[in-house]
Structure 1
């Protein structure tokens, strides 16, 4: 009997070892483009579903239409992962939510809200390298997740603009949109950092992007449950990248001016989206940081003033006027600021000053879409 137990024990141990070896082998990352031709059938099905997801998200109209920006991002990704050049594809989602995610077939989706927050190309490359690592390590395939709760479904539908049912929901469940386990995220941090250094970017910029995002999430009390909108996960990124950077004495490129040239228009568009959602508190929290203001073109002072005007709490009107004055000082031909000043002054019964602002607005944009409204304001002021 003892002999039988020993034999069974040895057999079970052998089976477990074989399973561990098989798992370790199956967890091998993709090595290069040729390895993508050898997918198992279930992984092939996941890739096919990923293709359906790509079609659905494009059909949903949420892809940001800028071939120039997409080409710029693709060039950075190809530099980070040259052995997968053209295979890890980067797309831009038109959403102010702070997020980026990878789906199993190597398509990376960057939200405009996240792109608006980076200071330079090195910080952008940090996130692209991290998301690219999720693909190379096949995290989506090996970390089948489920999206729980109707609120999560509703949130994703609002952000991406497509119903997440069937295959679409399955792909989002395997994507990095909510992040993976701490172990897998650390694995992506390590590979991403290595690629960042190899591509010649400044490794000491890596942790800064997550510090910026964590600070903003805390200030604005962001409610989204996505990976780059979640403070604890951002703190893990800060800690990991800080430790990795401490081992690097060399610096690299940041390409701040080039990055600003690519995204300045997008930054303003994201602010306008925030206004359309009525997120004035969020805009104020973001732009009240002098370091953040430096990222934006001079017209940003108009948006900060407008957020204060629309929130209209204690001291907001005084701050709004100050920001409007600053915007005019930096760009006296920026028409929207005169309309907003006119509305503010009209609310304070300063009729002549308000009329002067409205007239200046119409001088700058004589065929403004809201021309009839502005003329009605002028008529009301004249009667008063």
Structure 2
């Protein structure tokens, strides 16, 4: 099993999770028609500072490509590469895409045209159109040359020698020991925090991104939907913890009114919609690609011990219909919480999950255990036997057999 990058390591040094995707909103909305790509196919830098930046990030990409942080599913990778080919604009053929098993919501476009999507983002997307919006937003950063523009702005305001030394040290650390260790990738947090886009650049990327997906035939409103879902998740997470939403993390890191950006995205989408045109959502295609990965991604999310966020994610996905996998996830969320009320909910969710043909083996295990706890031993043994039939080589199989025999 691919090891996970801890949230603490991820957020160290400025944090990869706060890097690029949702940071800031412009003072006034930028219209999609105002944004034009600045580069085309086969772009290569010609100025010395950008050439140096590309050289450093080529080493970073080499390390990421060989890392054990990646989900290396050929089918999923082909699917994502085809998607960036549809919404990546004129330089789409030069873009590469990687999926990192990190249960957080984010995607990062690097200065040389490669993107890293976090698995937590894939979990949260309801359909292909929403994912296309995220990828188009990241592609727009590359098409508008935001990375080098931000880099040069930071250099003007800071010690040039210090920046060069820091960049060299981080890239060297990422590439010098080719082990694929996740700790190596955590070092990227510092440089990504330096390249964090300002409000103007984020607004530009939103405007071009929403145009790119509309031109590709996807529903342009999907970008504002994704933003709305992220806001709702963070607010419910804070409510469950009885705390205010964290303002040092991702969405709230640079602006106090995230709903303004959602409104801007919705206005841009309405501007682009053509009367009578049918826009694609690609829900069935997306679900087919994610079917084998969703149980693992849900498990990764639940292990973060953030029940409010986990519940919001599952309930949002369930708007398109409950199934055995989602009901099992709700059972696990409640099973891991204290209190008789949560335990009763867990038992009910597992009982509901096993009524679906896609119920995972774990649903039968916990359904059996809760039945036995409630005194329904015969039914519990039957459920546990079903679990062993589905997962005969599971690590706890000997213990479960003892339970059945007893």
Instruction: Report if TM-score (shorter chain) is over 0.5.
Output: yes
Matched, 1:243 2:267: yes
- In 2, Cα distance between equivalents of 1:371 and 1:294: 34
- In 2, Cα distance between equivalents of 1:263 and 1:368: 23
Q: Is the 8 A contact 2:89 2:139 kept in 1?
A: no
Q: CA RMSD in A?
A: 3.1
Matched, 1:135 2:138: no
Alignment partner, residue 289 of structure 2: 262
Query: What aligned pairs does 1:346-357 form with structure 2 within 5 A after superposition?
Result: 346-348=372-374, 351-357=377-383
Query: What aligned pairs does 1:312-331 form with structure 2 within 5 A after superposition?
Result: 312-331=338-357
Q: Tell me whether 134-143 or 219-228 shows the greater mean CA deviation.
A: 219-228
Query: What aligned pairs does 1:42-57 form with structure 2 within 5 A after superposition?
Result: 42-57=49-64
- In 1, Cα distance between equivalents of 2:74 and 2:149: 33
- Report the CA distance between 1:241 and its aligned residue: 0.8
Alignment partner, residue 30 of structure 1: 38
Q: Is the 8 A contact 1:90 1:109 kept in 2?
A: yes
Q: Is the 8 A contact 1:220 1:286 kept in 2?
A: no
- Report the CA distance between 1:348 and its aligned residue: 4.5
- Report the CA distance between 1:233 and its aligned residue: 7.5
Matched, 1:182 2:199: yes
Q: Is the 8 A contact 2:365 2:387 kept in 1?
A: yes
- Report the CA distance between 1:45 and its aligned residue: 0.9
- In 2, Cα distance between equivalents of 1:336 and 1:214: 31
Alignment partner, residue 118 of structure 2: 111
Alignment partner for residue 400 of structure 2, among 345, 367, 374?
374
Distance 1:253 1:40, change over 3 A: same
Query: What aligned pairs does 1:79-90 form with structure 2 within 5 A after superposition?
Result: 79-90=86-97
Query: What aligned pairs does 1:225-374 form with structure 2 within 5 A after superposition?
Result: 227=250, 235-250=259-274, 251=277, 252-289=279-316, 292=318, 294=320, 297-331=323-357, 334-348=360-374, 351-374=377-400
Matched, 1:214 2:231: yes
Alignment partner, residue 13 of structure 1: none
Alignment partner, residue 161 of structure 2: none
Query: TM-score when scaled to structure 1?
Result: 0.77
Give the length in aligned residue pairs: 336
Distance 1:288 1:203, change over 3 A: closer
- Report the CA distance between 1:113 and its aligned residue: 0.9
DSSP 3-state at the match of 1:108: strand
Query: What aligned pairs does 1:4-43 form with structure 2 within 5 A after superposition?
Result: 30-34=38-42, 36-43=43-50
Give unpaired runs (5+ residues) of structure 2: 1-35, 159-169, 175-180, 239-244
Alignment partner, residue 172 of structure 1: 192
Q: Is the 8 A contact 2:64 2:185 kept in 1?
A: no
Q: Is the 8 A contact 2:251 2:258 kept in 1?
A: yes
- Report the CA distance between 1:38 and its aligned residue: 4.0
Alignment partner, residue 132 of structure 2: 125
DSSP 3-state at the match of 2:354: helix
Alignment partner for residue 91 of structure 1, among 91, 98, 120?
98
**Deviations along 1:80-119, whole A, 9 cap, x unmatched?**
2342132121211111101111111111111111111112
- Report the CA distance between 1:350 and its aligned residue: 5.1
Q: Is the 8 A contact 2:91 2:143 kept in 1?
A: no
**Deviations along 1:339-365, whole A, 9 cap, x unmatched?**
112333444565444434323322443
Query: TM-score when scaled to structure 2?
Result: 0.73
- Report the CA distance between 1:226 and its aligned residue: 5.2
Give unpaired runs (5+ residues) of structure 1: 1-27, 147-152
Alignment partner for residue 202 of structure 1, among 194, 198, 219?
219
Distance 1:49 1:256, change over 3 A: same
